[in-house]
Chain A
Amino acid sequence: MCVHPPPFQLLIDEHASELHRFLTACVGPIEADDCLQETLISALRTYPNLRHADNLRGWLFTIAHHKATDAVRRSVRHAVGGLDGVEPSVAPSPTADDELWGAVRSLPLKQRAAVVHRYVFDLAYREIGERMGVSEEAARQNVSAGVRRLRQEVNR
């Protein structure tokens, strides 16, 4: 079978902004730039060898999810060997959203990503599961646990 994936630039035009939004919500504004760069490089590397070109958006989000997971693992490793706490290294937000970021960042990545997929991108639980590589039920649990914890954090 011969696959002709669309020009890579069209993927950038259509999805770079929302991937960046997703990554910013997952890992914060500074790490998001690196993660987006890593996501696009990974995608471009394997792009000509894709076996089908269905759901390229889902494919990109799955890669982005992996990159966000890597970034959080890196910062946790860094923090364990280093000084205080296990907060991902995140720059101060220039807006008044510090409190929100603080709350979102306090969630484990699985919950954080699930909440973002659900409430920022309005995805169904089945799609969230696909992007995170978990079952639909696990996606639902991650979202509800994340929302519960987010409420506690914000109301604290």
Chain B
Amino acid sequence: MNELERLAGLETDATAAVAAFRQRAAAEGLLDVAYADLDSPMGALSVFVTPVGLVRLAYGRAQDELGDLAERLSPRIIAAPERTDAVRRELEEYLAGQRGAFDAPVDWSLMRGFANAVLRATARIPFGSVSTYRKIATEAGSPNAYRAAGNALGSNPVPIVVPCHRVLHAGGGLGGYTGGLERKRFLLRLEGVLGE
């Protein structure tokens, strides 16, 4: 019947309803993790924000992190760029050389035990300064655990904002980096630690 064919061909647009849903989910405390993609001079980045703060900053697209974060944090994880505005603005300012420190709060819940201590020590290294794996291990309470400190830095869930790029080898070698050494060099140049 013609009418049923027309019914089957119905085109509708769910965009407005989904946007209203996102706003309400946040207002009712049901949006556990909001996320957005952004482009940067370092390539694609994605940010994930809980009601506490920035919980994950990934090199690459959000899509590649979703499954893992749904398991580790909450399946209530939704693309909601409007919830990530503050942290995205700060990142853009930092990467444009207009900001030295981040004001947006960090949610530390993906960082446990010794890794948490290492990364909290790392967060205290100011813009434009550097430290070493051994010093960070000492500050975290285990001077001999510099290899473990290196591992903790390598699994930093919020690179850039928790500045693991500021940790180098005592001899001056760059060490490793979660996003690849080219990105570490980029950040150290941006902060004036490395020459152009």
Note all chain B residues with C-beta closer than 8 A to A119: 4, 7-8
Note all chain A residues with C-beta closer than 8 A to B67: 6-7
Known contacts A37-B24, A100-B6, A116-B7: A48-B76 contact under CB 8 Å:
yes
**Nearest Cβ distance between residue B61 and chain A, in whole angstroms?**
13
Say which residue of B12, B16, B76 sits within 8 Å of A8 (CB atoms).
B76
**Interface size of B as a range:** 20 to 34
Note all chain A residues with C-beta closer than 8 A to B3: 100, 103-104, 150, 154
Say which residue of B20, B30, B76 sits within 8 Å of A33 (CB atoms).
B20
B75 touches A4 (CB 8 A): yes
A40 touches B21 (CB 8 A): yes
Known contacts A16-B14, A20-B12: A48-B74 contact under CB 8 Å:
yes
Note all chain B residues with C-beta closer than 8 A to A48: 74-76
Considering only CB atoms, which chain A residue lies closest to B68 in the complex? A7
Q: Could you say which of A4, A8, A17, A21 has the most chain B C-beta atoms within 10 Å of its C-beta? A: A8
Q: Could you say which of B3, B25, B66, B78 has the most chain A C-beta atoms within 10 Å of its C-beta? A: B3
Note all chain B residues with C-beta closer than 8 A to A132: none
Cβ-based interface call for A123 (8 A): no
Considering only CB atoms, which chain A residue lies closest to B23 in the complex? A37
Cβ-based interface call for A32 (8 A): yes
Number of interface residues of A (CB under 8 A): 39
A32 touches B4 (CB 8 A): no
B:58-88 near A, CB below 8 Å? 66-67, 69-71, 74-79
User: Once bound together, how far apart are the Cα atoms of A116 and B8, in whole Å?
Assistant: 8
Considering only CB atoms, which chain A residue lies closest to B79 in the complex? A9
Considering only CB atoms, which chain B residue lies closest to A120 in the complex? B8
Considering only CB atoms, which chain A residue lies closest to B14 in the complex? A20
A:41-88 near B, CB below 8 Å? 41, 44-45, 47-48
A147 touches B14 (CB 8 A): no
Interface residues of B, Cβ cutoff 8 Å to A: 1, 3-4, 6-8, 10, 12-14, 16-18, 20-21, 24-25, 28, 30, 35, 66-67, 69-71, 74-79
- Would you list the 4 A-B pairs with minimal beta carbon distance, nearest first? A20-B14, A33-B17, A36-B17, A7-B70
Known contacts A41-B25, A44-B30, A119-B4; 20 additional CB pairs below 8 A are A5-B70, A5-B75, A6-B67, A7-B75, A9-B78, A12-B78, A20-B17, A24-B10, A24-B12, A29-B12, A33-B16, A36-B17, A36-B21, A37-B17, A37-B21, A37-B24, A40-B25, A41-B28, A115-B7, A150-B3
